[in-house]
A and B are shown apart, each in its own frame.
Chain A
């Protein structure tokens, strides 16, 4: 089967990941649809409990128990070897601990996450952990792997990498640790990098450095990035496309300009109105969204946003659940206002 190079690298369809617990079932991801194209950056934004991290973990098949993918597809196009067409696999159907998933995870899809403190083992050197990641996926000697680890550390801007490679992670600052984690993630040249709140724990001047670094590495290596964050500023800065999530569902997806300049979903619009801005005048009132994100056990019926929505239509939004429908060029929204 010939593959269109403009076809999505990753295509998630109706993904549902549920956590069955004594108190009830938490529908952390409840029918998510997403498309991510090669070399693009898809920003996934949402507040706590919207399911953005569980979506990422579902793609990597590392959802913690009792979480389970109960429905849906995760079509991932594997890189073409020797110029041949890449084959597409449904990650949702693979054995999470099987050979194929293990050859994809870490090598073709890599993950960096928020806590650079806890992502490295404190008792092994940073270098050994990167070397181990390389040796797991590639048949090269330990010495070559070490050279490559040093090269990667140099590429991500770690000064004197020959010395840093033998240090423990607690000897590095937060910014350096995040750089080392990026070096480890990119050491096997993944086609998809999932970055889950990669700069949330960092200071703003360090955040600028890391975002700049991610952009440079993407230009050089050409991987696609799925950037998960709650920070609308970071998304506007980095993403080519944006998916806005709320309570386990994508409520709107569009190219970045469409989300920020022609937002359609009432949640997206309210969110953009509510945030304090650098360019706003000081001491002017903000326009908050009423209420709070509901507890996962208390999911509203119908559209999950309806109890907080200013444009709520009684009898419709609280009874039926809207689905993502196209409203423009690559712009889709899940709201009855547009049906």
Chain B
């Protein structure tokens, strides 16, 4: 086991200059006529045992970023460093397939939709036990014991092991998906919108479960979501993306209370509060999210930004650390006073 102190250690995951471009193909010869810059130069790290929330609207590149990290898709550029259990740091792009396979069991994913992400023809035992079998646990008895233990840990009764997923509710199916993800004792768990398909009353159960499992198994989460109140609840730090770029990254409380990017401020103000007495004046952004195939010049947010000035139209803002651990990509970050939550 790795030592408890993490202060002096390299981060569990470090992403530097990550890019993913998808070609746009047209015509009979399917010639590439351009690229969708889905992820365009993203930098961040995640320390062991923490949760980084990755937020943004549809098409901002948050899911593509997550998929690049898991090597479900091949990045177009940049580097992804992972610290292994023995303390060595590897860059995933330079790994041979066999080495990557070994690394894969340390990274697992929890999916959004518990109705389509579980094979309906497999029992819970097979679903949760499959990763164990694939990674060499040949004895069925041993697997059953391990599956029973995992089911208990996620709040399901081990007696249900021989049932099929259709017999379970959405929240229970999400628990099955979580048990499957935890089967190989991963160190990094990427959760992509894990509660957004669930009923409101069930979301809290799953969020609390993720919280408890993190403490029990010393998990590190990359939590991808669009719902800011959910992200606030689960995350130590939050990163905000807009059209393939990261615009702000800070500790959760700091980001919510003193956002430094106008997009973060608009996003925070847009979330309707479940309290009629706080109906406040919202920042209503004009227009729509820019097209990542033909992004605007300069700062991608400038056409919708209420604070845009000349330089925003011309130059891409630098990614600067405005205070300790608080990063922002905005030309006017130091002068703007933006309202947060509370």
Contact = CB atoms under 8 A, between A and B. Distances in A.
Interface of A: 47-48, 173, 175-176, 203-209, 211-212, 230-237, 239, 256-257, 260-261, 270-272, 274-289, 292-293, 295, 308
Interface string B256-280: 1000000000111111111111110
Contact of B271 (A176, A204, A260, A284): A204
16 contacts: A47-B201, A173-B288, A212-B282, A271-B200, A271-B201, A276-B203, A276-B204, A276-B207, A278-B232, A278-B256, A278-B268, A283-B211, A283-B233, A283-B235, A286-B233, A295-B169
A232 B274 contact: yes
A260 B208 CA distance: 23
Contacts of B171: 292
A280 B232 contact: yes
Interface in B12-64: 57-58
A275 B198 CA distance: 12
A208 B270 contact: yes
Given A278-B229, A278-B268, A292 B202 contact: yes
B100 interface: no
Contacts of A295: 169
A257 B274 CA distance: 11
Interface string B201-216: 1111101100100000
Contacts of A205: 57, 266-267, 270, 285, 289
Contacts of B207: 276, 286
Given A47-B201, A204-B226, A288-B201, A261 B277 contact: yes
A271 B271 CA distance: 18
Q: Which 7 A-B pairs have the closest CB atoms?
A: A233-B272, A288-B204, A203-B57, A286-B204, A232-B274, A292-B169, A237-B272
Contact of B236 (A208, A234, A237, A283): A283
B273 A233 contact: yes
Contact of B204 (A203, A236, A274, A283): A274
B87 to A, nearest CB: 27
A279 B228 CA distance: 11
Interface string B92-117: 00000000000000000000000000
B200 A275 contact: yes
A211 B270 CA distance: 10
A175 B288 contact: yes
B199 interface: yes
A278 B204 CA distance: 14
Contacts of A233: 271-274
A203 B226 contact: yes
Nearest to B280: A237
Given A260-B275, A276-B233, A286-B208, A281 B253 contact: yes
B203 A279 contact: no
B250 to A, nearest CB: 12
Contacts of B199: 47-48, 230, 292-293
Contacts of A281: 253
